[in-house]
Structures are given as structure tokens and as C-alpha cells.
Structure 1
Amino acid sequence: MSITILTVPGLGSSGPLHWQSIWEQQYGYRRVEQREWEQPARPDWVAALDAAVRAAPGPVVLAAHSLACSTVAFWARRHDTSQVCGALLVAPADTERPDFPVRAVGFAPLPLARLPFPSIVVASTNDEYVTLARATEFARCWGSRLVNAGALGHLNSASSLGEWPQGHALLRELAASAEIG
């Protein structure tokens, strides 16, 4: 059975120039849609992720960005994760920072338990929403491999990554490991 790739956008969703949107167009990946992108409530975001995973016809690999990385961590601690065989967690926003947007409700404190599936955290050295040290802590706690992407900001549309081949290679690595395993 083929693997379903679900993109999981963060706050505000991902615009047309974001690597998630480009991957959806180029490869047919499915987006986890949220009812409220601008004022997210954790229970709603977690429920939407759970529904998308359960609706997939087989194994799933997640490609999450920013606040969606937190969503994945919250989802993993309370839901059936057996269908998920990997997660690419890009630019995980530090929801515990005092300057984190207050319009996001219920995303702190962040779960720091080991994720029950293979994962890769990709972090930038100059991300405005998470320090490299904090992203490193997330990766360690979640049992994720850390990839330092260099000085690429929040790894979003403003980073001008285009289709972001380096990120897609990491996603393909997770998917290939799932197909072998």
C-alpha cells in the first residue's frame, strides 16, 4: 500500500509560495485543513489532524511546519499513532516564548515526550520563532534527528525556498524508511 503524505501547515496556513503548497501541487500531497487558521485552538487543530490521519487509506508521513509541529506533538500523546510512520517537523515554533502570538490558544506547555514514530526536526540558525538551542531540545526530547538548515529564517515563504529540494529529500528519506520497514 502506498504512503500518504500529509502536509500540516502552521499559523495562517501556507501560501502559494510556501514549500508545502508547492509540494502539494507537484506531488499531490494532501493538506490537513483547519477551520480557523488565524486564531487556532489546540483541540480543534489536533482533531483535524486526527481526522486526516484516520481518513488516509494506509500509512502516513507528516510534513509539519511551525505551529503544526506542536500540533503533531500534542496529537501523538493522546491518539492512535499506529498509522503514522514518520514526521518531518520543520521550524517548530516555541509556543512557550513570551512573544509567541497570543492568538494561538492551548499550545503551551509543549509536550516533550518521545514521539512514537521516526522524525526529523529541521531548524534554522536565525528563526524568529525558535532558537536553535530550543529546537535542539525539542529534537532531543521527541527522539528526532536534528538537521541544521543554516540561516534560512522560519523556513517559510519569506525564506524563498521554492520547492525546497533539501527538505523534500528528508521527507523522501522518511517515506522510504517506512516502505522498507
Structure 2
Amino acid sequence: MEALSWTLNNLATPSTTMLYLIHVFPEIKLLPNPLGVGMIPKDQVSPEQVESYMAQERGKRRELLYKYLQLCSASKVKVDTILIESDLIAKAIMDLIPILQIRKLVIGASKSQLRKLRSRKGSSIADQILQNAPESCKVSIVCEGKEVNEQITRVIANDTSMSQKNKHQQNGSVSCVCFNF
């Protein structure tokens, strides 16, 4: 919610063409066992059970997104939601950039995700997008309502191997913004 608030306060206006709320959720491979014990593979239950479970999940996502949509509506910004089922979150978002012609992407990040990014010990979603986004899209990373791009850029630039990798990727890199729910 903080990343969306930051976006509405710093980037979006009522004349903004369109604001996309992108929610990438994991592929559903397991469903609750009808007997109430554990989970079972999706292909081992009836199509009716799969559809019933998927309808419940869609309802949960709709409820989750409602607060975000209300905030956009109060700001008089045109908004559309995009729900993607994928285990490859960064790739799913990166694939949308050229399709939707995204020019500004805001990624909401938690403190733990930022620590991972700053320490270079992990490959967070924000890290993957920053490294691979095309130049036509400006990526902003927001944590606790504040943009933290400059801090992260310094960390990446100080890592010589990353610095060399970035030089090769800058020609086609795109920046994006995402919201973690």
C-alpha cells in the first residue's frame, strides 16, 4: 500500500493515461485435500473441485485488490489490474513492460528484501528487474513510503562484477515498478 501511495503522490495524476496494478501470484499446483488433511496435486482432483478452489482464490485476490482500487479511485486516477499466475515473478513483470508499454515501474520492497539487495547475498525480484529492465522504463523501488533507488544503485555500482554486467545490459535495460501484496 505504501508503494501505491508513493506512486499516487509522486508520479500519477488524473491525466495519467493508465496505472496498472500488477499482482503476480504463484502457480496453483496443490489444492486442499477434500478430507481436510494436507494438500494434493491439482491433477488428482475433479475439474469441479479445481474450479471451486480457483473461484475462492479469485475472491480472495479481488478482496485484496479492493483497497488498492479504492485508493486509486479517491485519487481520480485511471487504473487497471493485471493478475498473473506464475512462479517467475520478475520475468512475468519484465514480459509486461513491452506489451503494456510501461514507462515507469514502481516496485514495493520490504526491509528484508532491501537488505538482501544491498548485501548482494540474494537475487530479489527488485534486483532482477533493476538488472534486466529496458532503458525505456524507469524503475523506482519504494520501501516504507520512500524511494530507495539511489542507495541500491550505489551498492550495485560498488560491486565490480555487477558494474561490468550492468554496462553490458544498460543498452536494453528497462525499469519497472511492482507492488507486493
Q: Name the TM-score class by shorter chain.
A: 0.3 to 0.5
The TM-score, its normalising length taken from structure 1, stands at 0.34
RCO higher in 1 or 2 (8 Å CA, sep ≥ 6)?
Answer: 2
Larger C-alpha radius of gyration, 1 or 2?
2
The TM-score, its normalising length taken from structure 2, stands at 0.34
- Compare the two structures and name the one with the higher helix fraction: 2
